[in-house]
Amino acid sequence: MKEISCKLLVIGAGPGGYVCAIRAGQLGVDTVIVETGKPGGTCLNVGCIPSKALIHAAEEFEKVAHMAGGDSPLGISVAAPALDLARTVAWKDGIVSRLNSGVAGLLKKAGVKTVHGWATFRDGKTVEVETETGMQVIRAEMIVIATGSAPVELPFLPFGGPVISSTDALALGEVPKRLVVVGGGYIGLELGMAFAKMGARVTVVEALPRVLAQYDAELTRPVVKRLSALGIEVMTGAKAKGLSTKGDALLVETSDGKNAKIAADKILVTVGRKPVTEGWGLEQIDLDKAGRFIRIDDQCRTSMRGIFAIGDVTGEPMLAHRAMAQGEMVAEIVAGHKRGWDKRSIPAVCFTDPELVTAGLSPEEAKTRGEIKIGVFPFAANGRAMTRLGEDGFVRVVARADNHLVLGIQAVGQGVSELSTAFGLALEMGARLEDIAGTIHSHPTQGEGFQEAALKALGHALHI
């Protein structure tokens, strides 16, 4: 049995873990990172990156298919396209592989030692790792838990056979003719819309009264409109009950209490994610929990001295960039720097069609803090959106009525994910409506909608 010692041990090489390890290494901290799979975690390997690759491929295929119909307003006509999904997946895998190698190289460059295997706590300072070459014991002064999350499995729809998780969906060799998506959240709709564009007949089953319930109805209206245009059937207020006897259909209780059977070649279950808190010896250490998650303070410290936790294992929002920011902060704390977690904004993006972006407070949340001003600018009045055939959607700015401090920014529209950085920066810098309105925005861009929304809130929009 081999033993090594280090100042910092990071368990999990997802976005939070590898960023924490790299930053610690840069600061001269003797660091070891343990990962059972490939570096990059869910985000890089079976989440953010591969799903966006598949979404992009679907968008491109739909564009060509639309042009083949002969009614493209751009005047472009082409032959009917064909899709080789296996080749698409291979392209996606190539991107993932390049990024895997990049992360591994960055860890090595920072002087971080990587141990491949599953880590299990012996106590608050020691873990053992089952590697291919035997047991490795690691003793550390401080430990960061960055074990991430996993898809939630329904007891009456266990993964296997026709029932697939988001991970499985990203590795399919062919487009299913009939796809049923259980769960109308962002993961379900992102993938459901992508497969619909690639030719699948898609049905979404959502137990709540509407899809994308975490966003306000005004923001999601263009997405609901697009779901209909893609031919996706949406069943709200409906509950999945299980798999048919033959395994070729989903049994559903509809909103009016009736039983229904939806034919399906694949059933994609996307009802949320859960923290990975089992299998690594949690019972050997005494950590306070916040529900299913590990409880942390504003420096990501757990209830046990010398142990930190970051990312999905610590709760919502389960976002890669949140984990990265936490990881960077913890590394600097370990290196002796003074840091704390006080973020005004953690932007969230939903890569549906059209895309959704939220940063800061929603109008309803802001109203609880006092009187507010709201400015909305539609992309139907934006020249760049018109030239991209993307007029559906808008930018909305929410600010205090008294001093015009911006509290929240939301947008829905084609490509608005790229505006999320500007939204987050405005909130972090404490921008007021006048700051945004007075900033010269490039023309013609969709970003002009941000400026116009601020002008609208001030009462003098120029282009609407």
End-to-end Cα, the chain, rounded Å: 72
Cα dihedral across residues 132, 134, 135, 138: positive or negative: negative
14 contacts 43 by C-beta, under 8 angstroms = yes
Contact of 408 with 434, CB cutoff 8 Å: no
CB contact at 8 A, 264 and 143? no
Q: State how far the Cα of 451 lies from the Cα of 339, in Å rounded to an integer.
A: 33
Residue 380's alpha-carbon distances to 227, 264, 352, 358, in angstroms, are: 19, 38, 19, 20
441, 443, 460, 463: which is the annotated catalytic residue? 443
- Two structure tokens written together for 74: 């751009």
**260-to-110, 238, 240, 255 alpha-carbon distances in Å:** 56, 10, 10, 11
CB distance 137 to 126 below 8 Å:
yes
* Nearest C-alpha neighbor of 375 from the set 399, 357, 356: 399
The separation between CA 92 and the C-alpha centre of its own chain, rounded to angstroms, equals 17
Query: Is 441 considered catalytic here?
Result: no
Which residues are tagged catalytic? 443
